[in-house]
Homo-oligomer: A and B are copies of this chain.
Amino acid sequence: MNGTRINFPLILINFKCYREASGKRGLELARVAEQISRETGVCIAVAPQLTDLAFIASQVEIPVFSQHVDDVEPGSHTGHVTLEAIKDAGAVGTLINHSERRVRADQIDVVVKKARTLNLTTVVCTNTPEVTAAMAALGPDMVAIEPPELIGTGIPVSRAKPEVVTSSVELVRRVNPQVRVLCGAGITTGEDVAAALRLGTVGVLLASGVVKAKDWRKAIFDLIEPIIKK
């Protein structure tokens, strides 16, 4: 059991805006993840809906990420999400630039630099090897390559487009070897996770594969099975 410390391989579950994981149900899913993490020692992190961030982060002992953060300072910014707010909410870090919520490179630059001073972990999502290399140049803790056309399909990037993952890993190594690489899109099984790790990543980012599963516990155990064996 690792509490809110991040370690690898990392399984990062994005609740998106799925109603299956909204409000109290979001808390339940986070608790299932926490329970399995405790039982197995695998690092399972969650990114709940923005409006549930403090609610969930205050009640579970696993790493909780924000789904998005804005590049604004605390102050007069109604309707925005600051790094300070997610820290006060109990999050350990944030996704940024998800394909469903892209932001600009100069904004990511601001967020990555400031997150470092606040001890918050940044995971910048990307769509192509070139964009992955670009985002690695900004120095986040992790990048997460996700070909948007595979998101939500159940067809894993590791099988459909392994070369996107491997060339992302390779470019990141060249541009900024301290940045870790996750991959996502279509991940639903332990086999997908194992393939992702073989391709050079340190974990996966996934959403519907867990959130929309009928049995959350079973879905997560399926995913982490190859990691536990190790």
Chain A residues near B (Cβ < 8 Å): 14, 16-19, 22-26, 47, 49-56, 58, 66-68, 72-82, 84-86, 88-91, 95, 97-106, 108-109, 113, 126-128, 130-131, 133-139, 151-152, 171, 175, 207-208
Known: A16-B76, A89-B52. A135 touches B105 (CB 8 A): yes
Assembly of this chain: how many copies?
A: 4
Inter-subunit contact A78/B134 (CB<8 Å): no
Docked pose: A88 CA to B51 CA in angstroms: 9
Inter-subunit contact B79/A67 (CB<8 Å): yes
- Starting from the known contacts A134-B137, A136-B137, 5 additional A-B residue pairs (CB-CB under 8 Å) come to A22-B85, A49-B81, A68-B79, A77-B101, A109-B131
Contact of A131 among B51, B55, B138, B152 (CB under 8 A): B138
Inter-subunit contact A139/B135 (CB<8 Å): no
Nearest B residue to A73 via CB reads: B17
- Distance in Å from the Cβ of A1 to the closest Cβ of chain B? 24
Docked pose: A152 CA to B208 CA in angstroms: 33
B-chain residues with CB within 8 Å of residue A73 when the two chains form the complex: 17
Which of A47, A55, A104 gathers most chain B CB within 10 Å?
A55
B-chain residues with CB within 8 Å of residue A90 when the two chains form the complex: 23
17 A–B contacts, CB within 8 A, in A order: A16-B76, A18-B76, A22-B82, A47-B78, A49-B81, A50-B50, A51-B51, A55-B89, A76-B100, A78-B98, A102-B104, A102-B105, A105-B134, A134-B134, A134-B135, A134-B137, A137-B175
Inter-subunit contact B128/A88 (CB<8 Å): no
Known: A51-B51, A55-B54. A78 touches B88 (CB 8 A): no
Known: A102-B106, A131-B105. A78 touches B54 (CB 8 A): no
Contact of A133 among B76, B81, B85, B137 (CB under 8 A): B137
- Distance in Å from the Cβ of A25 to the closest Cβ of chain B? 8
Inter-subunit contact B86/A16 (CB<8 Å): no
Contact of A53 among B51, B105, B108, B137 (CB under 8 A): B51
Docked pose: A139 CA to B56 CA in angstroms: 34
Known: A104-B103, A128-B109. A17 touches B152 (CB 8 A): no
